[in-house]
Amino acid sequence: MGKRILVQRKGRGGINFRSRKHLKIAPAKYPTTLKLAELGQQPVEAQVVEFLHEPGRSALLAKAKLPDGNVFYYIPPEGVFLGDTIEIGEGAGLKIGNILPLRSIPEGVLVCNIEMRPGDGGRLVRSAGAYATVIAHKEDRTIVRLPSGQEKALSSKCRATIGVVACGGKREKPYLKAGTKYYAMRVKATKWPVVRGNVMNPCSHPHGGGSHRRPGKPTTVKRTAPPGQKVGHIAARKTGRGKKLRKTRRT
């Protein structure tokens, strides 16, 4: 009798395919504009009081304290130190770590942790060592170049942090042991290592079985196939390397 293949188990969402939420510290978000308006001063100053490591997050978390005693957590850029004072708001200076609307940031400045919509707390460019570049301002829109090279037009009211996200050299450190990577992937709700289907037993995968490495059957499946069968090239228009056209020589 066969058993559920890996993609079926992922869809069910068991304990091995869910992130450990009890390890999370807090969401990394900017203070709301309403909260800043209550403080009454522009720009609002906050002091960095602690750096924290959250499992599953590549960058550090910075704990900042507002003048009224409340705290918020945000992603610090490279160059922010413990005890530094950062500014939040329209009139903040162009200093690493300050949080400003995109309309107040000149072209060519590197930014990170950018809001997609005004007030959402930051959605783009949040991983370690990432940064975006402000390209141009057009009326109520600002164009930024993301790490992928894509240029995106955002509302000029969206806020961003000046600088490059800290911990940029983290990806250069090798894992060295399989167990280290296993736990690093596990905290991100990623099943690792991934075993190829053609080296499994036939009861574990449609491509398994046989004393050979090939699937032994066509790998294209229809889009309406049941979950246990839906592996390989799903609803593929074509497969293979394609047919090479032969050029005819003129005489």
CATH number at residue 98: 2.30.30.30
- Check whether residue 44 and residue 133 sit in a common domain: yes
Q: What is the pLDDT of residue 240?
A: 84
Q: What is the pLDDT of residue 29?
A: 94
How far is 182 from 117, CA to CA, in rounded Å? 35
- Check whether residue 56 and residue 143 sit in a common domain: yes
pLDDT per residue as tens digits for the range 36-94: 777 767 889 999 999 999 998 999 999 999 988 899 999 999 999 999 999 999 889 99
Provide the CATH number for the domain around residue 190: 4.10.950.10
Q: Among the three residues 170, 193, 214, which one is the final residue of a domain in this structure?
A: 170
> Which ranges in the chain belong to alpha helices (H)?
6-12, 33-39, 178-186
What are the strands of the beta sheet with 71-74, ordered from one edge? 71-74, 61-65, 44-52, 85-88, 99-101, 159-162, 110-112, 132-138, 141-145, 151-155
In a domain, 248, yes or no: no
Q: Which domain holds residue 124?
A: 19-170
Percent of the chain at pLDDT > 90 equals: 66
- Check whether residue 101 and residue 135 sit in a common domain: yes
Contact 25, 245 (CB under 8 A): no
Q: Among the three residues 170, 187, 206, which one is the final residue of a domain in this structure?
A: 170
Which residues have a Cβ under 8 Å from the Cβ of 19 and sit 6 or more positions away?
Answer: 56, 187, 188, 189
pLDDT per residue as tens digits for the range 195-213: 999 999 998 899 999 989 8
Handedness of CA 215, 225, 11, 127 (dihedral sign): positive
**pTM for the whole thing?**
0.81
In a domain, 166, yes or no: yes
Tell me how many degrees the CA angle 100-109-70 measures, rounded to the nearest 5: 25
- Check whether residue 123 and residue 25 sit in a common domain: yes
Total of domains in the chain? 2
Nearest to 49 by CA among 35, 32, 36, 66: 66
In a domain, 189, yes or no: yes
- Check whether residue 50 and residue 150 sit in a common domain: yes
- Check whether residue 219 and residue 120 sit in a common domain: no
Q: Among the three residues 117, 142, 170, which one is the final residue of a domain in this structure?
A: 170
pLDDT per residue as tens digits for the range 153-199: 999 999 999 999 999 988 889 999 999 999 999 998 888 999 999 99
Q: How many residues does the chain have?
A: 251
